[in-house]
Every structure is written in structure tokens, then in C-alpha cells.
Structure 1
Amino acid sequence: MDLKDKQSTNKQSPYPILIIGGYGNFGKKITETLAKEANIQVIIAGRNERKAEALAKQLSTTAINPLKTLALEINSADISDQLSISTAKLVIHTSGPFQAQGYNVAEACIDAGIHYIDLADGRLFVEGFESLNDQAQQQSVIAITGASSVPGLSSAVIEHYKSRFKSLQELNYGIAPGNQTERGEATVKAILSYSGLNFKRWQDNRWQDVRGWQNTHRHNFPSPIGSRWLANCDIPDLTLFQQRYPGLESIRFYAGLELSFLHLGLWSLSYLARFKFIKNLARYSRPLTLISTWVQQLGSDVGGMYMELRGINHKNEPQRIIWNLIAESGDGPYIPTIASIILAKKIAKGQLSETGAQACVGLFTLEEFTKEVENWDIHQQVLEND
């Protein structure tokens, strides 16, 4: 379908950024944030143009530049042509889950000479993304995967604190959203795709098999989050950080649900996949997402993330740093979007120029993240040797 201008023509020539899934849970937050930038024009894209148009109308009073919409099917054979006629110079792909996707969107962007960012947290997807590197360099395209909480934000935290260590030996970290925060089927499906199944984790200086959504345990977050259940999660960091930080002996990542009966219910279901009664729980993502929405008003809108770094400092003494991120007032869902927002602003300003395909590791600083979230109810707390 033709590209539709949702507002009057602006005399300036802002940088056009197309957001695939721009009306979805994460895409909407990226759209509303970038639409407030004077040098950026947002194109809201997705398979449901009516939803895109509704969001464009909703944001028309706050958007500085005209909002546009585009009906776009990511599995279409002519997606490269559709992207070309969109006039976009950068595409942000938010339509997960990425665990079951190929690289057709990224390849289409590269073919069209359009820069590309995605929010992928699928381990195999992010690990294999460098296969596009030569193609992206030949086309002078910046292509970035994993611009989200992991590995984008998690790598920024490590880069910020690693100089405090003579030897960084262990990473333990996790994410626990509030139950009242928005959730989509794609997020649920991503978690279900590995629940109960084996994946490799670097632990005690060797690769070991662990099971998704098992090893469930309690973790104490700072107030007002408090104690939350956490369980094993498979993420790109488990491979990327083992390669980037060769001194690491163990890398463990966890995630959890605020309501005990939801978290422990999924833990129980994971045994159906573990013992092969069900091949993969992801096929039940729709009914399980529906069940979770029925109880969405329970619990709180407070969530967080923590990262514990352990090792030896420059005095040859044990060093432990625990970085905590606390999100209140329902602002937690913004956190996975911040990496893509920071990178999009950098590309639009010409501040990120290295072409090629790579994971979002060390591409922005913790200071940049802190500045970006200062208008939301998101704050940090750091404990050292405590």
C-alpha cells in the first residue's frame, strides 16, 4: 500500500526512521520517544496499518515532525522493494520473537542500503548475525542486533565497571518485571521456546547443560521491588560475553515473574518439555498469554534488573559490585527499548559510522543510558563489597 502522510508536510528534512511493529508493546515506546526528536521523522510500519494509523493520530499532538504509516509484512517476497519506497534511512525491527526468525528483514535492509537495528534476544539469532557482516560492509550499512536489555544494556554495565577489576571472574544477573506492566505474546513465546529444554551456559570454566526456567530461586532486589522468583534463561550474552571477556569463569542469567503462582506454574510446565511430554511450550503461547492478562491487575508495576560482578581488584583483593536498576510507575517496559533509541539517535546524527553487522555489545555507555532514562521513573543503585 502507498505510504500515507499523517500530518502536514514539514519544510525540514528530518532523518526518516521506519519502525517495524511500531504500534506494538516495545515499538510504540520507541515511536513515541523518537517522534519527539526534531531531527527525526518516524514511519510506523506493520502488518496492521489501522493500528499504525491509530497510533499516528494519537501521537500527532506531541510529534515534532509528520508521522507516516506503512503496511508491511516482514515475510513478504518484495520486502526490500517496500522498504526502498518508504524513503527510510534506518529500520528498527521490533517484531519478535526472533528465536524463530531468519535474517530476511536485515538482508532486505542491507540490499536497499538502509541501516538496521533490532531488539533480538534470541541466542542463535544474535550469534549468527555476523554472517551478514561482509554484505553490510559492501553496502556501507550499519546493521546491529540485540539492541535491548541484553546484550545492549548488560554490556554497557560491564564496560562501565570492568576497570575496577584486575580480573573479572563471574557474572550473575537477572530481570524481574512487575506483573502490571504490558506484555505481548512475542515475549511469552520467546520464554516458552526454551523452557524445560537444555542450553549451554559457561560455568566453572566449562560449558555445562542447564534447563530453561529451572533452578528457580529467590533473589532480593532493593526496595520497593523486594524478593522475587528467578529461573534460568537462555540469552545471547552467554556466548558473547564468554568470547569478549576471556577471564570469566561463570556467566549466569535469570528472569522471573512477580506472581509466585505464575512463576512456579511455568516452572511446573517446564517439566513437560524436559521429559518430552510436550516438544516445545512455545506452541501454547497464545492461551498462556491470555491467562497472564487475566491476572494483570494483581502484583505491582515495579520491576528491575540486577548485575553482580565478582572478581579480583587491583589490590589483589576480592571485589564484588552489584548494579541494580529499579523501574517504578509502570516504566519498566521502556528499558528494553532504550538501546535502540540511543543508537537510532546516534545514527541520525552521524555519530555512529562503523559499517558492518554486529551484536550490540559496547556500542553505548551506561552514562548515555542514564541520561536517556532521566525523564522516567527509572533509577540505579550500586552496592560494592556488600
Structure 2
Amino acid sequence: MLENEPRLTLIVAERSLARADGYCKNRDRAVARVVPALFDRDGDIVEQLSPLRPDILIDASGPFQAYGEGRYRLIEACIDQGVNYLDLADGSDFVAGVSAFNEAARTVGLFVLSGVSSFPVLTAAVRRLSLGMARVDSIRGGIAPSPFAGVGENVIRVISGYAGQPVKLVRNGRSALGHPFTEQTRYTIAPPGRLPLRNTLFSLVDVPDLRALSELWPEAKTIWMGAGPVPEVLHRALIGLAWLVRARTVRSLSPLASLMQLATNRLRWGEHRGRMFVEVAGSDQTGVAATRSWHLLAESNDGPLIPSMAVEALVRKALDGHEAPPGARAAVHDLELEDYEALFASKTINTGFRNEPVDLDTPFYAALLGDAWLSLPDEIRAMHDGTTTAEGRAPGRART
């Protein structure tokens, strides 16, 4: 990650200088210079930020949904002090509101990018999948972390805050209300050439994608994003609690956040593999219905790195002289899948694409392996080319 970049000085800012100092002392293998600093976002931000003078400030605190009044004080201070800004926000309203600072950021030549977490990779995947399609009818995706990844307090606080509460989305061509964790779908994530994961239950979540994707692809009649926490028994318990909120039996699950975190981090079993999918359905240039999907599989401890990879990619691009254009916005156009793939290459993170319908003349193994077929040696492909053809659905295709 960025700790391995010798051109950087990383300032680790905490409300507790002792904690920041302890963290920095434990980074003895870091190539970058790592220094601690005291910073309290509830204090005088300009006074604290001025002596630090970073080139880029990264807000990884949160939960952004709970910032309340003055939620953009840090952004305002960065613009005032001439500091570029990135955040890992996953709150729809927070990310959408950042565009209000676009003119101010452009005037002083700064970039202010919000939602620089898992959000940009999903959007980049939709762009890749929709290339060459005449029409996009639906977009859906999901993230399922490994049960052993460890879930932070802020993440649990966010989930407990919106579970069962109404959220705006696009459904059947109309603006509608959904209720997170009370709507489900099942999906099998199967990157071509890799062992598929178990069929996973996904529940609707409140993420910036629901709003941003509808703006980028206004013709899409349905947009749906979900999370698939495992073990499934805990997921189903959360579904039941979310229904209590939806039925107004209880006001919110926020009082249960600590208990939810305890259960999530203690009751862990299953495959130590994180996964993600994006699926786009519509029609191709000939008018034939087409469904394309992108699958990601992260082995062991590499999955939790994905939410911070967008920040790493943007910082590395800036170091190489390809800084993001000035302006304040959601980070939907600032990264492409190629930027992520360059970082995935050094990790046990595998991705791939699957398309439907499959040409009936496609060799069986080509249909089974998807785009992984092209990575096989020519002599292997020649052995199986044309021997058995695909019939109907491609074997191994993710099923819902």
C-alpha cells in the first residue's frame, strides 16, 4: 500500500497523539516516512491543519452519515488552506452534497473527491460492462466480505443506522423507496478460471451508487446494490431486525451497534474469501438482449484492502504527474478498472467477466472459463476448440 511508497510522508492524525504515535512506531517496515499528529475534527480545523500543510488530506474517519450540522467543515478548511481532499464516505447524502463545493475547489485548483472507497471500482466496472451496449436496462451489484475480515465500529454504526430505514432508488423505471436489509437476492460469484464461491445471499444497502449510477445511466430502469455478510445465520438475524424497523416496531438498530459488532467479530466461520460482483443487463447493438457481469474474488486478507485501493490509485497517479482534475464531486470518473487491475496484480485478487447469451458455437470450455479461456496456452485451447459446444446457459455462470 502507500506505506511502501518512498516518495511519501504519511501523517497519521488522531484525536489521541499517543495512539497515533503507537501506530507509527509499529510501522517499522514502512518505506514511506510515517509521522504522528494530533487532530480533532470537532476542534478548530484550520488551526490544526495549517501547520501540517499536507498535499492531500484523506478523511477515513466517519461514519459520514452521522456528521450532522457542519458536516463539510473539513472540506471547507481544506479549500481555505489549499489542500486536496479525499474521503472514504459511503453515505449517499454526504457524497451527493460534496458537489456544492465544486466552484470553490475549481477556483483554487484543488480536487475534492468523495466516496473514494469501494464506490469507484463498482462504477468503473459498470462503464466497462456497458461498452458497446445500445441500451442499459438494469444495474446491480454486491459486496460480500470474508467473515474473518474484521468489521470496524464505524461500519457497524452505519449499518445499524440505516437498516430498515427508507432509501431512494430506481425500480421498474420509477423513483421508489427501498428498505435496506429487507430486500434480498442470491448470486453466485465465479471469476472465470477460479473456484466459484458458495451461492451468497445479498441484501439491499444504502450506498452512494444507488444515486450516482442513476445519474450516469438515466435509462436504467432498475438499480440495486447489496451486501452479503456471512455467516448467513447472522445475516438473517440482521434481516429480521431490519424488518422490525421497517414495520416501525423499533425506531432504529443504532442502540444495538455494540452488540452487533461483538457478534460479527466473534461468530466467524466459512470461507476466508471476499467477493464482489457487478451485473449489467440490456441489449447489444443488434437489439439482442445481453447480460454482462464482472466478478471479483479476494483470497485471505487481501479483501479488506479493496476499499482503500481507490485512495492508493489516486495518490500514485498524482505522484506520477496525473493528478485528478480540479473540482468537488463524487469519485465516479476519476478511476478506471485498469487503475485497480494494476494494484490487484500484486495481491491474491482475481477478476473476470462473463457474458450471456453464449454463442451456441462456443466451445464448452470457452463458455465455462469465460475470459480466462484466452489466457490458456494456444496448444491447450487447440485441443478443445470445437469439440463440445455450449448449449443455452454457460456452465459456471453466476445464477440468481
- Same fold, judged at TM 0.5 (above): yes
Distance, in Å, in 1 between the alignment partners of 2:135 and 2:31 is 47
Alignment of 1:294-305 (within 5 A): 294-296=266-268, 298-305=269-276
Distance, in Å, in 2 between the alignment partners of 1:243 and 1:216 is 24
Alignment of 1:185-334 (within 5 A): 185-222=153-190, 223-296=195-268, 298-334=269-305
Distance, in Å, in 1 between the alignment partners of 2:32 and 2:147 is 35
| Count of matched residue pairs | 350
> Is residue 216–residue 267 contact of structure 1 (8 Å, CA) maintained in 2?
no
Alignment of 1:108-187 (within 5 A): 108-150=77-119, 152-187=120-155
| TM-score for both structures, normalised by structure 1 | 0.87
Q: Deviations over 1:202-234 (max 9, x none)?
A: 011101111110123432222342112211111
Q: Choose which of 13, 17, 34 in structure 2 pairs with 1:67.
A: 34
Alignment of 1:13-162 (within 5 A): 33-60=1-28, 62-76=29-43, 78-101=44-67, 102-150=71-119, 152-162=120-130
For the pair shown, the structure with the greater C-alpha radius of gyration is 2
| TM-score for both structures, normalised by structure 2 | 0.84
Point out 4+ residue stretches in structure 1 off by more than 3 angstroms. none
2:349 maps to which residue? 378
Change (3 A) 1:44 1:170: same
> Is residue 75–residue 104 contact of structure 1 (8 Å, CA) maintained in 2?
no
Give the letter aligned to residue 47 of structure 1. Answer: R
Change (3 A) 1:55 1:348: same
Distance, in Å, in 1 between the alignment partners of 2:280 and 2:291 is 6
Deviation at 1:278, TM superposition (A): 2.2
> Is residue 230–residue 255 contact of structure 1 (8 Å, CA) maintained in 2?
yes
> Is residue 159–residue 362 contact of structure 1 (8 Å, CA) maintained in 2?
no
1:9 maps to which residue? none
> Is residue 189–residue 296 contact of structure 2 (8 Å, CA) maintained in 1?
no
> Is residue 302–residue 332 contact of structure 1 (8 Å, CA) maintained in 2?
yes
3-state secondary structure, aligned to 1:183:
coil
Distance, in Å, in 2 between the alignment partners of 1:202 and 1:322 is 20
Deviation at 1:246, TM superposition (A): 2.1
3-state secondary structure, aligned to 1:202:
strand
> Is residue 324–residue 334 contact of structure 2 (8 Å, CA) maintained in 1?
no
Moved more, 333-342 or 211-220: 211-220
> Is residue 15–residue 40 contact of structure 2 (8 Å, CA) maintained in 1?
yes
Distance, in Å, in 1 between the alignment partners of 2:167 and 2:81 is 36
3-state secondary structure, aligned to 2:322:
coil
1:345 maps to which residue? 316
Deviation at 1:352, TM superposition (A): 1.8
3-state secondary structure, aligned to 2:11:
strand
Q: Deviations over 1:297-350 (max 9, x none)?
A: x22321100001111111221111110010111211111111111112222333
The CA RMSD measured in Å over matched residues stands at 1.5
